Amino acid sequence: MGSHDGYRNRYPLDFTRFDASDVESMSQKYTNKSKLAEYLNSVYYGDFVLSEIIKRFENSDSIVIYFSDHGEEVYDRSAFVGHGNLSRFVVEIPFIVYVSDAFKTKHASLYQRIKEAQNQRYMNDDLIHTLLDVAGVSMRDYEPKRSLFAKDKSLLQSRIRIIGNENFSEDYDRLK
Ligand SMILES: [Zn+2]
């Protein structure tokens, strides 16, 4: 369940690191500080789970790619909490790439391309191209320019990123 609403149910009590007093500086009148602290605890626990997964791959030739299926809006601009609204807080996601030391040595040029992509604009509907790139698989419909780690970044820099559904859609780069 990751950090879905019902945040207090998303982490063991041992991982209660934040409480309402830690979010004191957030002065918005609509913020439920306790609930925001519970959200932070759920993210803290999620980080722990991810670190435990990564540890299992530290000593082998490995790459670990992690991302959320969506973001979460938690009092970012109103009293709204959740991900049913279309906003940048809901479509922006953590995207983490871990590579082991053995990976860096054995795949030096790919590692270089991964590092260069750290702040690359991207949208995950093209993720299949990134995975094929990493795996070194070529097949019909694979477009190297759509890989997050593409050498030629012209398409990544210019493509329009439409978010939403059949009822409502928006150009992400025009979202407030
Ligand atoms: Zn979800």
What residues pack around ion ligand 1 (CB closer than 5 A)? 69
pTM of the entire predicted model? 0.90
Whether the CA torsion 113, 151, 91, 140 is positive or negative: it is: negative
Distance 38 CA to ligand 1 centre (A): 17
pLDDT in tens, 58-114: 999 999 999 999 999 999 888 899 998 888 999 999 999 999 999 999 999 999 999
Distance 115 CA to ligand 1 centre (A): 28
Judge whether residue 26 has pLDDT over 80: no
What does the alpha-carbon distance between residue 152 and residue 166 come to, in Å, rounded to a whole number? 32
Distance 69 CA to ligand 1 centre (A): 5
Closest C-alpha among 157, 138, 149, 148 to residue 110: 149
Distance 5 CA to ligand 1 centre (A): 10
What does the alpha-carbon distance between residue 69 and residue 112 come to, in Å, rounded to a whole number? 26
Residue 167's pLDDT is: 86
How does DSSP classify residue 14?
G
